[in-house]
Amino acid sequence: MKVLIPLADGFEDIEAFTVIDVLRRAGIDVDPVGVTGMSVTSREGIRVMLDKRLDMINPDDYDGIVLPGGSRGVANLSKSSRLRRILREFNNKGKLIAAICAAPLILANEGILDNKKATVYPGLERRIPYPRGDRVVVDGNIVTSQGPGTAIEFALKIVEILKGKNKLIRLKKELVV
Find residue 2's DSSP bridge partners. Answer: 29
Q: In whole angstroms, what is the distance from residue 119 CA to residue 69 CA?
A: 13
Q: With CA atoms as reference, report the closest residue to 142 among 111, 114, 163, 116.
A: 116
* 59 CB-near residues (< 8 Å, 6+ apart): 4, 86, 89, 90
d(C-alpha 134, C-alpha 117), whole Å: 10
H or E, element range at 107? helix 104-109
Catalytic residue among 101, 106, 107, 120: 101
91 part of the active site: no
List the Cα angle 87/93/95 in 5-degree steps. 65
Which residues are known catalytic residues? 101
